[in-house]
Amino acid sequence: MSVEIVDDEALWDRFVDASPNSMLFHKRAFLNLQEKYTGDKLLPYGIFAGNDLTCILPVFLSKQNGLRLLYSPPRSSLVYVPYLGPATSPAIARLQPHDRESAWRSIIGELCAEFSRLSPNYVALGLSPGFLDVRPFERTGYEADLMYTYIIDLERPVQAIWESIESDTKKSIKDASRHPLTIAQATDTATFTDLMRQGLKSQGETFFHRQSPEYLTEILEAFPDHVRMYFLYLGEDLIGANTLCSFHGHCIGWMGNTAARQGFSANDYLVWEMLKKVKQEGCRTFENTGADEKRLNHSKTKFNPALVPWFYLYKRDPLYRTAKLGQLALGKIKRHA
């Protein structure tokens, strides 16, 4: 196997479309936007077996405070991408377990060797759910944090999904539906960003405070069939919003917030309406991110999701460890920034 930079964007996107474990975030236009809005250098690595592209792994090279850092995805404070990491070909998925593990070890070995050539002080990889075999990374010195997300099975009938929802939540949805609520597709990212900033003001400086609304505007324009924004109105008043990201039959409730209301839950109503909508459009699963934030667990589990693991991998050299100890107090470096 060999590792090469894949400059052919059409080849890259054909691979992403065919891969069983790729995400929309892997598409080249999405990667280019991540590069543009972080200022980090995109390194679109491909792993070839002969002439066959078997795996891709886009990483971003960042230079901060004299350190060389590799991220995949980039820092969440700048692009709000939950996962990136590798995506493999259908041929890898079809292999028998013995051959698949052997191929995976070879792929990771080649990638880690390439990363070493770049001499980074820190490498961080957020693997998408489904990549559970992190042993080849750990054997080369990576540490692994076990993370979680919530995923709802949409292949059941709508009535079965409804019956699985917590009873008080079903009541709150019914109560909300008695109000003059409407949902409309939107493109006003400035208003959306303002709504998010207001809803998250108690959380300090978030992605929505740091990043320009133009980032989301360009995403909506580049992927109109995959990323859509919806506004929830009570009469003429905007009270909530949700931005969904769909790809390969999987929908992520990517960004969203609702204003606090007295008397009914706008958030429960909006999530339920989004679930029904994306199911009707053919999505098989719906991901409601936020399982690792304790303050969100109560609201996220109302819809009876499955708790699904994923891994955040990182490797730190002695210089990074020393710099982190010296600079963490100044807020210049954060472990998962």
Reported as a single tens digit per residue, the pLDDT across 135-169 is 999 999 999 999 999 999 999 999 999 999 999 99
Q: Are 135 and 181 within one domain?
A: no
- Domain holding 69, by residue range, is 2-148+310-330
pLDDT for residue 205: 82
Question: To the nearest whole number, what is the mean pLDDT of the chain?
Answer: 92
Residue 167 lies in a domain: yes
d(CA 247, CA 11): 18
Q: Are 132 and 182 within one domain?
A: no
Which three-class secondary structure state does DSSP give residue 102? helix
pLDDT for residue 333: 47
- Model's pTM, two decimal places? 0.92
Q: Are 18 and 120 within one domain?
A: yes
pLDDT for residue 203: 80
CA distances from 227 to 81, 215, 243, 248, 278 (A): 13, 13, 7, 13, 12
Residue 104 lies in a domain: yes
Reported as a single tens digit per residue, the pLDDT across 253-292 is 999 877 766 678 898 999 999 999 999 999 999 999 988 8
Contact 312, 145 (CB under 8 A): yes
Residue 177 lies in a domain: yes
Q: Are 103 and 241 within one domain?
A: no
pLDDT tops 80 at residue 337: no
Q: Are 263 and 320 within one domain?
A: no
Averaged pLDDT, 33-44: 97
Reported as a single tens digit per residue, the pLDDT across 81-127 is 999 999 999 999 999 999 999 999 999 999 999 999 999 999 999 99
pLDDT for residue 170: 95
CATH number for the domain spanning 29: value is 3.40.630.30
pLDDT tops 60 at residue 183: yes
pLDDT for residue 161: 97
